[in-house]
């Protein structure tokens, strides 16, 4: 393993080697992304587009694959959660 892989494993051992082990709590953005992707990663393209219908870039999103849409949707959920956390706590420690 490379040094970067060793660091990644040390920081997120529950998501290494492609295995996600739920812990009952989300301890950071990566775990939140993995959690949301487990839920929405297999949603249909039509459903994902429906979930993102209010976005200003919806016409561009329509051109993407289901997998790309799922990744973008889950990333947007994580960003929204982080923004709410920062707004609620008034800190940058998410």
Whole-prediction pTM? 0.68
Bigger pLDDT: 65 or 86?
65
Whether 78 contacts 36, CB under 8 Å: yes
Separation of CA 33 from chain center: 3
Compute how many other C-beta atoms are within 10 angstroms of the C-beta atom of residue 73: 21
Q: In whole angstroms, what is the distance from residue 22 CA to residue 37 CA? A: 13
Whether 69 contacts 52, CB under 8 Å: yes
Q: In whole angstroms, what is the distance from residue 22 CA to residue 83 CA? A: 23
Residue-wise pLDDT tens digits, 34-84: 989 998 999 999 999 999 999 999 999 999 999 999 999 999 999 999 888
């Amino acid at each position: 393993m490379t040094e970067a892989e060793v660091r990644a494993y040390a920081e997120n051992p529950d998501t290494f080697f492609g295995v996600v082990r739920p812990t009952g709590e989300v301890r950071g953005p990566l775990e939140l992304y993995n959690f949301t992707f487990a839920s929405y990663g297999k949603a249909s393209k039509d459903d994902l587009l429906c979930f993102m219908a209010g976005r200003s870039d919806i016409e561009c999103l329509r051109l993407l694959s289901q997998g790309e849409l799922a990744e973008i949707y889950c990333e947007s959920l994580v960003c929204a959660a982080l923004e709410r956390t920062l707004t609620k706590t008034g800190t940058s420690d998410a």
